[in-house]
Each structure stands twice: as C-alpha cells, then as structure tokens.
C-alpha cells in the first residue's frame, strides 16, 4: 500500500470515528439540549451587531431609566436608561471570549507541561509536579483574585489571571492520561524507529489522549465563565460600562428588590451558558468512551 492509499485509509477511519462519536452523542438527550442552548447563545454572540446595535448598550436615556420589560425594551432598561437586552447580548462576547480563550490557552500550556511530565518522568516529572502542587494549594478563585490585584483590572489581566488558575488542573489531568498512553506498544515502536521525543509526544501520545482532554476543556469553559463573572461581580474584573454579565449583576445589586429583572436576565444567561457547556461535556464523556456499550 502506497502513501496516498494509507492517507486515504486514515481519513476514512477518522470520518467513521467522528460519525460514531456523533451517533453516541445524539443518543444523550440532555447533551443535545445543552448543544441547542449553546448554539442559540453562540448565535446571539456572533450576530449581536445585527440583532441590536452596540450603541444601545451605551446610550443613556434618562427618561427611560428602570423601565420593566416591554415590546420596546425586551429585557427592560437599567438605571441609566440603557437597553438591558442589548447589554446582555453584547456582554455574551466578553463572557464567552474569556471562557473559551482561557480554557484553550490553559490547554496548550497544560498539554506541554503535563505531557512532558508524564512522558519523561524522573526529574522532569518531579519538578513540574512540585511547582503545580504549590499553585494547587491556593483555591483557583483566590489565585485569580491575587493575580488581578497585582496586575490591575482589565480584560487582558483577567484572562491571564483565570488562565493561571486553570493550568494546574490541566497539567494534572494530561499527565495522568499520558502516563497510560506512553506505555502503549505504538509509542515503543515509534521510539525504536528513532522518532524524536517531540514527534512522539505530539504525533502519537497527545492525539490518543484527546478524549479526556476534550471533555475536560469543554467543562472547564463553564468554570471559567463563572470565575470571570465572579471577579467582575466584586469589581475585580471587567469594569463598567463594558456589558459583561458579572458586571451587570454587580451594578444591579441595589435594585434587586425594586427592579429584579436587572438580576434575572444576566443571571439566566450565565446559568444557561454554564449549564450548556456542562451538558455538552457530559455528552462527550459518553460519546468518547470506547468502553461504553450501546
């Protein structure tokens, strides 16, 4: 069999594997509900400018302050007369960007450190694990808070802080998966062929450990969204007038009894986005489990 035929064979196998994963995923009703909710939120996020102009987020209309939901203002208005629907929809860009960006950056760094620790072992493993142990002594939210307090409040610093808090868990997970995969026969065969360590790690080890990694990353996005909202809620995240969900909840505290809708809609979007990622993650756990029987 020539190289072209082998590539065609590999492509067909990947396609059949993806089809099988999708078939298993579809059987999980809760996961499908989570996927639908997630797609709806992503639709609002991507097409926010077409749904409602950004100017509605920042235009202050004193005569329309604290109006309850109506046809004119679907989610009502805030204390400055700004349209809450516009602020929630455009705020999804901040929250989802932070959740996805921090999870992916932490995944890349965690993959390099975790794979190195699990593959090489010995002194490399000990040094990386001891450093990770130091970071894991501090709860993630407190670690994020400390980093933001040191660097200052901005979107960039918030992403850095949450990423740092997410890396230790990724390193631990990837290391444990790599320890199992690194002992497989195909890895030993690659070593016998004289393949470099980097090629073995990125060509053979990590691709065969992607199942748990994908599931963990998907579910981590939910935690990162909640962390960003929590930091913004206490004034250590994105600052007003940026329409981030946590910041919206923070500014609505004093109106929780007179205008509870100011808390209801941002809180509902935070809850639904976190729930959708968790449900999709649960579905992927079952779909990517090779031991699962129909």
| pLDDT given at position 177 | 85
Closest by alpha carbon to 60, among 77, 74, 76?
77
Distance CA 294, CA 281 (A): 19
CA–CA distance from 173 to each of 65, 115, 269, 273, 284 (Å)?
49, 10, 29, 24, 16
Distance CA 76, CA 68 (A): 5
The whole-model pTM stands at 0.82
3-state secondary structure of 202: helix
Here the tokens at position 228 are 């960003």
Low-confidence ranges of the chain (pLDDT < 70): 1-15, 289-294
Instruction: Tell how far CA 242 is from the center of its chain.
Output: 20
| pLDDT given at position 35 | 92
**Per 3-state DSSP, what percentage of the chain is helix, strand, and coil (rounded to 5)?**
75, 0, 20
pLDDT tens-digit profile of 136-173?
Answer: 888 888 888 888 888 888 888 888 989 998 899 889 88
Distance CA 231, CA 8 (A): 49
| pLDDT given at position 38 | 92
CB 266 within 8 A of CB 248: yes
| pLDDT given at position 32 | 92
Distance CA 45, CA 68 (A): 24
pLDDT tens-digit profile of 99-142?
Answer: 889 989 998 998 889 888 888 888 888 999 899 988 888 888 88
């Amino acid at each position: 069999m020539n190289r072209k035929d082998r590539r065609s064979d590999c492509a067909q196998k990947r396609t059949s594997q993806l089809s099988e994963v999708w078939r298993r995923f579809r059987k999980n009703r809760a996961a499908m509900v989570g996927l639908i909710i997630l797609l709806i939120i992503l639709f609002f996020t991507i097409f926010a400018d077409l749904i409602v102009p950004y100017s509605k987020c920042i235009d202050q209309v004193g005569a329309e302050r604290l109006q309850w939901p109506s046809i004119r203002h679907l989610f009502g208005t805030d204390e400055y007369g700004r349209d809450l629907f516009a602020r929630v929809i455009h705020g999804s860009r901040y929250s989802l960007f932070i959740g996805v960006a921090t999870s992916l950056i932490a995944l890349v760094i965690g993959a390099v450190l975790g794979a190195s620790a699990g593959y090489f072992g010995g002194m490399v493993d000990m040094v990386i694990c001891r450093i990770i142990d130091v970071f894991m002594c501090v709860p993630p939210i407190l670690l994020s808070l400390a980093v933001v307090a040191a660097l200052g409040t901005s979107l960039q610093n918030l992403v850095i802080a949450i990423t740092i808090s997410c890396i230790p868990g990724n390193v631990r997970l990837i290391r444990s998966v790599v320890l199992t995969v690194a002992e497989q026969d195909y890895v030993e065969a690659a070593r016998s062929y004289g393949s470099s360590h980097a090629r073995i790690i990125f060509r053979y080890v990590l691709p065969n450990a992607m199942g748990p990694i994908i599931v963990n990353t998907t579910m981590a996005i939910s935690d990162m969204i909640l962390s960003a909202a929590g930091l913004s809620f206490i004034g250590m995240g994105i600052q007003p007038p940026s329409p981030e969900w946590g910041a919206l909840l923070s500014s609505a505290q004093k109106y929780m009894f007179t205008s509870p809708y100011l808390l209801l809609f941002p809180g509902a979007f935070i809850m639904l986005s976190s729930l959708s990622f968790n449900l999709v993650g649960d579905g992927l756990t079952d779909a990517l489990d090779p031991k699962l029987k129909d």
